[in-house]
Chain A
Amino acid sequence: MILNDLIAVKEKELASQKKIVLRCCMAAGCISSDSKGVKEQLEIAVTEAGMQDEVEVRGVGCMKLCCEGPLVAVDPKNELYVKVTAENAPSIIASLKGGKANVEQTDPDAAFFKKQLSIVLANSGIVNPERIESYIAADGYLALHEVLNEMSPKEVVEAMTKSGLRGRGGAGFPTGLKWGTVAKSPGAKKYVICNADEGDPGAFMDRSVLESDPHSVLEGMAIAAYAVGADQGYLYVRAEYPLAIARLHLAIKQAKSLGLLGAGIFDSPFNFNVEIRIGAGAFVCGEETALMMSVEGKRGTPRPRPPFPAESGLFGCPTLLNNVETFANVPAIYRNGAEWFAGIGTEKSKGTKVFALAGKIKNTGLIEVPMGTPLRTIVEEMGGGAPDGGKIKAVQTGGPSGGCIPSQHLDTPVDYESLGKLGSIMGSGGMIVMDEGTRMVDVARFFMEFCMDESCGKCIPCRAGTVQMHNILDKILKRKATGRDLAKLEELCDMVRNTSLCGLGQTAPNPTMSTLRFFRNEYEELLQPDTFGAGATHSQPVTK
């Protein structure tokens, strides 16, 4: 394949585009409420109405407002139908000829959509994730072509550094710096790994990206591989994402058949193959060193760093490991230029961030907003606030590694530093909204139980410390604990955080510590009076 071939594919795809496109969500969320049936009925109705030549029913990825699924969008009428059923779907087709469909609609220009800025999700809900031509029609693989033909690996790294992109897996390490380190690490064999082991409770951003736009991740990985000098990539996806895995398999196959993956990509000397590795359900395998052990076929447990994967990673070779969303940002950065990307967001946090908005909020779903957007905008304007007129109490970010941000801090801009200052983290993008009915000690116990269950068991502080912390939280909730127990809990939080081997243990105390910081009264209300030393006068017995 050369550039002209790519452009030919794009033009053919655009030329064959029909006048009316019905985009029907085929991501896991809507499929679970029968969007497959909806799509089938839409197709039948189109045929019955004899409109095959004018109307395309296109299966697309996530259209973001997940709580209202299945979603069907009509182009170019700019209509968005919600909660479509197989039964009422045909009335949408009928309405194309005039009249009104007997289906609920929502305003596609509402704040939930209008306040979004799509880079990662630009193709989500637009392109058909099962057809590479659809991605190419949206300028897919153009960035890869440009990078391979017009930039040296060094320039690719420099552009990434200039863009200011930071790792979207949670820690926010500068991506350009990571790429540069791997590029400079000596070694004939290098690897690129995409971490798609999304495991935070309530988080589904990466799943949606993989289901909706798998090629953007593959293209991002290929660009990264070229930059660092790797020829082999692995996509580590958790087994709980069967649809994402199926679409990735298909995407890899299609990309290979067009010469966009494999040997001599775009007739250049650059080779890059991608294989999928399926995670067997351990949360800890999202930790990079554990993930690599798992890819190697070993028990997925982390190992101490240094050495960092950039120097010695998979099979002891220099390895670049980025998360799904990080890779999905890459093609757009090279298509539009590093300056364009650096112009979005805040001084230290560039670009956008995708969040999975969930919990006690009216509009649940996926949102992508520029870095620096205040939490209030996300939760109140876009999310529509708590349902049934409830009051928002806190927003949890970062899942089991993150913290709870109380409502008085809702004006905090969403960026790495601001969230860190509040004792939370950006995390991979889970955002759980809690209302006044949520007990914060419950929240702390929930996440502690999660970490306890998911601890790999290798290091003692995480393995045994989470058990003790969980037991104390449980005791507090059962109203059996005293101030002594709370003191022990705090001491353990500090110890587990500072001595655990990997990120799982180091961040496991975060939800507890952050709820203790902002909602200490809720803990104290549950404490019992300390009768432990009743009557004792602890003075030394002296010779009388």
Chain B
Amino acid sequence: MWKTILRRILIMIPEIIILSIIVFLLAKAMPGDPFTGSINPRAGVAQIHHLMEVNGLYDPWYQQYWNWVVHLFHGNLGESYQYNEPVTRIIGQRAVNTLWLSLFTVVLTYLIALPMGIYAGRHEGKLPDTVIRFYTYVTYCIPFFVILVLGIWIFGYVLGWFPTTGSVSPTANGTFATIGSRFYHMLLPGILGALFGTVNIVQYLRSEVVDAKSSDYVRTARAKGVPINDIYRHHIFRNSLLPIAAFAGYSITGLLNGAIFTESVFSYPGMGLLFVNSISYRDYTVITALVLLFGILNIFGTLLSDIILSIVDPRIRIE
């Protein structure tokens, strides 16, 4: 198995190289430049030309790409044009925020989704199932950003229960107060993200439970004289959770996509918001670094899913 994992990682190398070239070229293909608008408006065209030249932006693309790769291997992703700070440091700060928010959302998602999916599946066709299915359909139909905006308006603005921007209150003093404030800021985006994220899992889990209920091995268990509650515990739940467990790897990618919406709407200083801002400022170094990071995480997520699946399902072996 380790051999295969190693081989999969080696295969990822050309994937990442191709990905990085595409990302690099796409970023360059965007119209505009990083300097117009960010320096003194009275600065002439000549000065912008000068800045472009100094930063090597007039070199042929392969030259620029090569320079970028060489720097990359020195752990240097360049400097942000927007913030005049090393890209690594900027992303590092935001990554921590995104990581905490994502982790919180994931835990919350599974805490809500698993009991709901199992309950709906077990009581298929009864009232609780109908209510849960109604909830999933409604949530599924509403676009994510509408949920976010509605959530902010109701809970942040009308009711005023939660903060609507930022990741921590500037007035928070002391370690505990800071942690408390951070958690308080994560609550609303986390809950809204989780509510949206549950839909797929609930629907999937429900149908898995419904299928498992009428499966032949459950019939065998009944013929053994196993009480129905034990059949749920020992057979149905475990077998239905299997594909959900395998989802975990993929959910990393899903969360990053979600972060772009959530962080923009909540002005939450994470990687999603950074990404959106960098695009509008043509902050090439940040964009390329972020897209590359997302891409690598994506590839790792897929690998992780395969590994998890091979661990939990004896029928699947990575060889």
A binds B: no
